């Protein structure tokens, strides 16, 4: 089971076949009466909501039979009125039919009509009546003395309708149990279509409960069952539900394929409601892939096509949210006024409540952020009082409707959003009270995936209160910290893709998860100049938790499992020559603060056998971002004297932020190095000298190779071995085995044909691979055509390699689907690579000590692309990964790699991986080759991630 998914309850594990209606005496029936029961069973119809199955269409029945039964005419009339959306008139027709059946003592017919009436009441938002009528229907069926096939059909469909009511009221667990009971009834009746229908609904309930993998597995099974069957409504809905489930777990390519199948079938049967619903799903898929224009086109088609008002509104809301994110303000100005009147026309339902919440979210976004042009054009509409009033009138009906439904989850969402409105208008007390109400509701329903949001909101409000009182109230500060702590504790428990945990509301990681960690750390580190060890440890722990959450979100599942050791323990007990630095970037982004934004670079340092130390540098956000951007640009430029001077100037600024205060601390606690070179200290009698720095980098610092930092005289790599870590913990660290290295070396000179021709030829790959073998290392080679994904998998599983070296193009991106390496038969995605290497773990116990990716690069213009590099490093299962942050020279790379292996495999000296890389880079820096490779552009990009020993 995935992390973040709740454990199944006992009721979910019970055998639904034990739940049967009471037995009754069998009574002979004449054929016309049996046909009449079949007719009434076929008239049971369902809510046309996306993701839920519909009952089978009405079957034709002989006119001579229907003409003799006026009540049947009333039911048929009710069905026609329901299909036309005339729910009040449908209710009247069904109520008349029910009265007639009651007077004739016809319980099964009455039960069928009552089940239909429950559906009508659900559409009207009359939830109490809907509940009463379905309960009466079930009692009539269960108390009936008829024990025939058709009574089972009616019972199955009544249970189906009850499950829909329960799900609509937010009672997903009860709905699941009811649909499991309905499945057993349908199986007893031999109705395979009914079985398929309620199993599809079970998948919807599982998704609502957070069991995403179980939901996906069930939908996959249903899809396989329906593949060889004719096109049907059920097949369309199943494919759409499967596409949505695949989207939630991150398989966007397969999701698109399945959704396109659903769309084609819906269009072939001319079903506007289903066509619109599938177009909506395709829009969501395109949006997840950042295909903005395609997503807008799908949303527009969905709104123009669908016959279901709720689908129209949902499509427009999703489009509005996307337009706001993309800052297409003229389109926002056109679309925004269209939505509010349509919300007012929606009947009360859970979907309508969430539509109002999403509209409120969009309004909050419009009222803030970088949209000055839009604000000027709509200055009357966007006055604080006008916007706040619109937000309140949007949310207050949502709160009442949720209460009428008895849906605590939806009510919590709506109340919490109202608290956010009060927060926006600086009504702190009203905001705190409303937020606390939302939090109590979330906690009472154990809905921790929304409880964390209100704990965060409460923390923000208490932080504001503390600052407004001049930071004097310790009790308010303690309460704010406690609220943030509770939010983060819930996020750690969830440990899954939080966008998927909230499928009904348009939140994303950058908006709803990352700020919690950063604001909490800011509160911890800026509350005082003199911080105790507990506070520093907590701040450091929260930054690590954020990095893990980023990786979880990257892969759409929890990662970094297994036995791990704290880095502090490694440093203090086993490796006292290593210091660990945690640079934390705090951006001042207080709402409504018009002063220039600042950045506080906080460095928490762990020096061996010393308590944690904290150093802070404050500068303008513009200076911080410009310095890093220009340093990155200089590293990519052609090396010239002018560019080198510019590069060193920027690198020296970063060195002042991160290294100077730490070096001063190291010097104050350890012997001074000779000639300013840490490596020159060699006295065995003196305390161990720090010779390695391990960085746990944050924010845009992750795109800068630390080796290039400049102190005015030397690069950082001239003084220290350097490694990166993705957090405070490490897979049990061990030096690389001293026995001969066994290397699996694969390389690709020419990229595969097709769109991947964007990558150029790597002329020196073959010499790179062959140079490894020339060093005397035991090497297995896969070159060019031989380097396929299957060949790589076969070799990895065939022999105990402790080094895997891949000399091929690849790209690291902030999106898992865009992170891959190239093989001769096409790209190997990071998730496929993970599967490929993990297959080894089932057959071999030897860990891969080192993974080398010698020709890959991070994606251009993607500030979070190092997530892909970290993701590759983490999921490979290798203890260490050597890779490049940017496109390195094809000609110089083999030389640097050869020197790295030469140092690592030195038979006369035990050298750590970090030291081996340092020596190779310094070797380049000192220019031993006929071609001058001393410029940082040739050697700085390579970084070691993970175990540095």
Determine the Cα–Cα distance for residues 662 and 94; give it in Å rounded to an integer.
80
Give which of 568, 573, 642 is closest to 611, Cα–Cα.
568
Determine the Cα–Cα distance for residues 659 and 717; give it in Å rounded to an integer.
12
Beta-carbon contacts of 254 under 8 Å, excluding residues fewer than 6 positions away, are 246
Are 627 and 654 within 8 A, CB to CB? yes
SS3 920: helix
Residue that finishes a domain, picked among 190, 221, 248? 190
Cite the beta strand spans of 430-574 per DSSP E: 564-566
Residue that finishes a domain, picked among 555, 582, 617? 555
Q: How far is CA 419 from CA 386, 517, 725, in A?
A: 17, 21, 39
SS3 350: helix
Is 144 among the domain residues?
yes
> What sign does the dihedral 348-351-355-358 (CA atoms) show?
positive
Determine the Cα–Cα distance for residues 881 and 921; give it in Å rounded to an integer.
16
Phi-psi region of 556 (alpha: psi -120 to 50; beta: other; left: phi over 0): left
Beta-carbon contacts of 593 under 8 Å, excluding residues fewer than 6 positions away, are none
Is 619 among the domain residues?
yes
Determine the Cα–Cα distance for residues 168 and 849; give it in Å rounded to an integer.
52
Determine the Cα–Cα distance for residues 727 and 570; give it in Å rounded to an integer.
13
> What sign does the dihedral 390-393-395-398 (CA atoms) show?
negative
User: Same domain for 487 and 571?
Assistant: no
User: Same domain for 758 and 698?
Assistant: no
H or E segment and range at residue 441 = helix 428-444
Is 251 among the domain residues?
no
Angle between helices 474-494 and 514-526 (to 10 degrees): 150
Are 437 and 454 within 8 A, CB to CB? no
Q: How far is CA 605 from CA 261, 617, 678, in A?
A: 55, 14, 18
Determine the Cα–Cα distance for residues 462 and 225; give it in Å rounded to an integer.
54
Is 220 among the domain residues?
no
- Count of other CB atoms within 10 angstroms of residue 13: 7
For residues 15-54, one letter each, b for 16 or more C-beta atoms within 10 angstroms of the residue's C-beta and e for the rest, the string is ebeeeebeeeeeeeeeeeeeebbebbbbbbbbbbbbbbbb
User: Same domain for 64 and 123?
Assistant: yes
Tokens 């020419």 appear where? Answer: 750
Cite the beta strand spans of 523-628 per DSSP E: 564-566, 578-587, 598-606, 613-620
Determine the Cα–Cα distance for residues 849 and 947; give it in Å rounded to an integer.
9
User: Same domain for 478 and 596?
Assistant: no
Give which of 721, 724, 710 is closest to 660, Cα–Cα.
710
- Report CA dihedral (365, 371, 373, 378) to the nearest 10 degrees: 10
Determine the Cα–Cα distance for residues 404 and 127; give it in Å rounded to an integer.
7
- Written as six digits, the tokens of 300 are 């527009």
Determine the Cα–Cα distance for residues 380 and 24; give it in Å rounded to an integer.
69
Q: Rounded to the nearest 5 degrees, what angle is found at the Cα of 930, between the Cα atoms of 925 and 935?
A: 30
User: Same domain for 549 and 697?
Assistant: no
- Count of other CB atoms within 10 angstroms of residue 526: 15
Give me the DSSP letters along 772-827: HHHTT-EEEEEEGGG--HHHHHHHHHHS--SEEEEEEEEEE-SSGGG-EEEETTEE
Tokens 């750390």 appear where? Answer: 521
**CATH number of the domain residue 937 falls in:** 3.40.50.1460
Give which of 239, 276, 244, 277 is closest to 258, Cα–Cα.
239
User: Same domain for 546 and 568?
Assistant: no
User: Same domain for 918 and 779?
Assistant: yes
Is 929 among the domain residues?
yes
User: Same domain for 753 and 894?
Assistant: yes
- Give strand pairing partners of 788: none
Determine the Cα–Cα distance for residues 235 and 507; give it in Å rounded to an integer.
30
Determine the Cα–Cα distance for residues 936 and 719; give it in Å rounded to an integer.
15
- Give strand pairing partners of 312: none
- Count of other CB atoms within 10 angstroms of residue 11: 12
HSE (side-chain half, CA atoms, 13 Å) at 639: 13
Residue that finishes a domain, picked among 508, 528, 555? 555
Q: For residue range 24-78, what is the model confidence (pLDDT) as tens digits? A: 222 333 322 222 222 222 223 322 232 222 332 333 333 333 333 466 678 888 8
- Written as six digits, the tokens of 41 are 């069973």
What Rg do the C-alpha atoms of the chain give, in angstroms? 32
Are 901 and 775 within 8 A, CB to CB? yes
Tokens 């690849």 appear where? Answer: 810
- Count of other CB atoms within 10 angstroms of residue 587: 14
pLDDT means over runs of 10, the chain (949 residues): 40 29 29 26 29 30 39 79 78 90 87 91 85 93 68 88 89 92 92 88 83 82 85 88 80 87 94 93 90 96 92 95 89 90 88 92 77 57 75 94 87 95 92 98 86 96 93 93 96 61 52 89 93 95 85 67 66 87 85 70 94 95 96 92 95 97 81 47 51 92 95 96 78 68 93 70 91 92 94 88 91 81 89 70 64 80 70 74 84 91 90 95 82 88 90
> What sign does the dihedral 296-302-308-309 (CA atoms) show?
positive
SS3 268: helix
User: Same domain for 411 and 529?
Assistant: yes
Determine the Cα–Cα distance for residues 836 and 830; give it in Å rounded to an integer.
10
Q: How far is CA 645 from CA 638, 934, 935, in A?
A: 13, 14, 11
Q: How far is CA 239 from CA 53, 233, 242, 246, 263, in A?
A: 11, 10, 5, 10, 9
Residue 783: what pLDDT? Answer: 95
Determine the Cα–Cα distance for residues 850 and 873; give it in Å rounded to an integer.
10
SS3 145: coil
Beta-carbon contacts of 572 under 8 Å, excluding residues fewer than 6 positions away, are 608, 609
User: Same domain for 622 and 743?
Assistant: no
Q: pTM here?
A: 0.76
SS3 693: strand
User: Same domain for 696 and 837?
Assistant: no
Counting the structural domains of the chain, the total is 4
Is 277 among the domain residues?
no
User: Same domain for 703 and 831?
Assistant: no
Q: Which domain holds residue 654?
A: 564-671+687-730
Is 895 among the domain residues?
yes
Is 527 among the domain residues?
yes
In residues, how long is the chain? 949
Residue 799: what pLDDT? Answer: 85
Are 534 and 481 within 8 A, CB to CB? no
Give which of 188, 266, 282 is closest to 234, Cα–Cα.
266
Give which of 870, 940, 932 is closest to 716, Cα–Cα.
940
Residue 846: what pLDDT? Answer: 65
**CATH number of the domain residue 475 falls in:** 1.25.40.10
Backbone angles phi, psi at 757, to 5 degrees: -65, -10
């Amino acid at each position: 089971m995935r992390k973040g998914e709740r454990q199944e309850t006992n009721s979910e594990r019970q055998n639904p076949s034990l739940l049967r209606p009471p037995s009754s005496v069998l009574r002979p029936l004449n054929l016309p009466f049996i046909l009449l029961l079949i007719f009434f069973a076929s008239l049971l119809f369902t809510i046309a909501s996306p993701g839920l199955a519909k009952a089978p269409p009405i079957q034709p029945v002989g006119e001579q039979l229907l003409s003799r039964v006026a009540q049947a005419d009333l039911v048929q009339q009710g069905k026609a009125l329901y299909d036309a959306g005339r729910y009040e008139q449908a209710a009247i027709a069904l109520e008349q039919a029910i009265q007639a059946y009651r007077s004739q003592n016809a319980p099964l017919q009455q039960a069928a009509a009552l089940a239909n009436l429950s559906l009508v009441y659900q559409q009207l938002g009359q939830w109490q009546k809907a509940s009463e009528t379905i309960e009466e229907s079930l009692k009539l069926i269960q108390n009936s003395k008829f024990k025939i096939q058709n009574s089972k059909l009616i019972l199955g469909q009544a249970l189906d309708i009850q499950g829909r009511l329960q799900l609509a009221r937010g009672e997903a667990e009860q709905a699941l149990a009811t649909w499991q009971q309905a499945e057993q009834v349908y199986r007893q009746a031999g109705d395979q279509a009914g079985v398929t229908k309620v199993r599809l609904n079970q998948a919807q309930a599982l998704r609502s409960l957070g069991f995403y993998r179980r939901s996906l597995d069930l939908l996959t099974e249903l899809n396989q069952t329906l593949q060889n069957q004719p096109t049907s409504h059920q097949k369309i809905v199943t494919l759409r539900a499967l596409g949505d489930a695949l989207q939630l777990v991150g398989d966007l390519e397969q999701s698109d394929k399945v959704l396109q199948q659903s769309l084609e079938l819906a269009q072939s049967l001319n079903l506007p409601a289903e066509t619109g619903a599938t177009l909506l799903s395709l829009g969501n898929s395109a949006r997840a892939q950042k295909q903005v224009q395609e997503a807008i086109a799908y949303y527009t088609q969905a709104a123009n096509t669908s016959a279901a008002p709720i689908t129209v509104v949902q499509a427009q809301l999703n489009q509005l949210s996307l337009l706001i994110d993309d800052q297409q303000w003229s389109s926002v100005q056109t679309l925004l006024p269209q939505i509010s009147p349509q919300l007012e026309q929606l009947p009360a339902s859970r979907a309508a409540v969430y539509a109002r919440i999403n509209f409120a979210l969009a309004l909050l976004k419009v009222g803030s952020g970088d949209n000055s042009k839009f604000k000027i054009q709509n200055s009357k509409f966007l006055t604080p009082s006008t916007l706040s009033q619109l937000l309140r009138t949007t949310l207050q009906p949502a709160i009442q409707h949720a209460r009428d439904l008895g849906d605590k989850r939806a009510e919590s969402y709506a109340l919490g959003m109202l608290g956010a409105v009060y927060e926006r208008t600086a009504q702190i007390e009203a905001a705190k009270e409303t937020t606390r109400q939302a939090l109590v509701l979330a906690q009472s329903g154990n809905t921790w995936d929304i409880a964390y949001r209100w704990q965060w909101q409460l923390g923000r409000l208490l932080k504001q209160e503390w600052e407004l009182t001049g930071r004097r109230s310790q009790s308010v500060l303690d309460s704010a910290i406690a609220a943030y702590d509770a939010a983060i504790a819930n996020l750690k428990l969830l440990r899954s893709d939080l966008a998927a945990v909230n499928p009904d509301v348009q939140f994303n990681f950058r908006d709803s998860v990352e700020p919690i960690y950063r604001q909490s750390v800011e509160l911890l580190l800026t509350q005082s100049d003199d911080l105790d060890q507990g506070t520093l440890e907590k701040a450091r722990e929260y930054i690590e938790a954020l990095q893990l959450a980023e990786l979880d979100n990257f892969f759409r599942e929890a990662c970094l499992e297994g036995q791990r050791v704290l880095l502090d323990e490694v440093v203090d007990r086993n490796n006292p020559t290593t210091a660990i630095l945690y640079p934390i970037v705090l951006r001042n982004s207080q709402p409504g603060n018009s002063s220039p934004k600042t950045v506080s670079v906080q460095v928490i340092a762990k020096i061996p056998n010393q308590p944690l130390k904290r150093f802070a540098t404050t500068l303008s956000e513009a200076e911080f971002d410009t310095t890093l951007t220009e340093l990155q640009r200089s590293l990519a430029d052609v090396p010239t004297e002018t560019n080198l001077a510019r590069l060193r100037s920027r690198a020296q600024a970063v060195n002042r932020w991160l290294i100077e205060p730490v070096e001063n601390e190291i010097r104050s606690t350890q012997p001074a190095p000779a000639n300013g070179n840490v490596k020159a200290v060699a006295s065995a009698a003196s305390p161990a000298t720090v010779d390695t720095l391990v960085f746990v980098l944050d924010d845009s610092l992750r795109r800068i190779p630390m080796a290039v930092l400049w102190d005015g005289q030397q690069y950082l790599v001239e003084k220290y071995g350097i490694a990166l870590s993705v957090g405070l913990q490490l897979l049990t660290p061990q030096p690389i085995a001293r026995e001969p290295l066994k290397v699996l070396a694969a390389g690709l000179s020419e990229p595969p044909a097709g769109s991947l021709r964007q990558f150029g030829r790597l002329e020196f790959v073959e010499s790179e691979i062959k140079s490894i073998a020339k060093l005397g290392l035991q090497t297995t080679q896969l070159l060019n055509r031989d380097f396929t994904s299957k060949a790589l998998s076969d070799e990895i599983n065939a022999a105990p390699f402790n080094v895997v070296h891949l000399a091929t193009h690849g790209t690291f991106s902030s999106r898992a689907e865009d992170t891959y390496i190239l093989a001769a038969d096409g790209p190997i995605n990071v998730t496929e690579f993970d599967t490929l290497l993990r297959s080894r773990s089932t057959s071999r116990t030897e860990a891969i000590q080192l993974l080398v990716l010698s020709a890959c690069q991070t994606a251009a213009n993607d500030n979070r692309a190092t997530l892909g590099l970290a993701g590759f490093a983490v999921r490979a299962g290798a203890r260490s990964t050597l890779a490049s942050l940017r496109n390195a020279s094809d000609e110089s790379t083999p030389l640097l790699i050869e020197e790295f292996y030469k140092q690592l495999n030195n038979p006369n000296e035990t050298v750590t991986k970090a030291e081996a890389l340092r020596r190779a880079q310094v070797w380049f820096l000192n220019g031993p080759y006929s071609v001058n490779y001393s410029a940082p552009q040739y050697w700085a990009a390579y970084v070691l991630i993970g175990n540095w020993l």
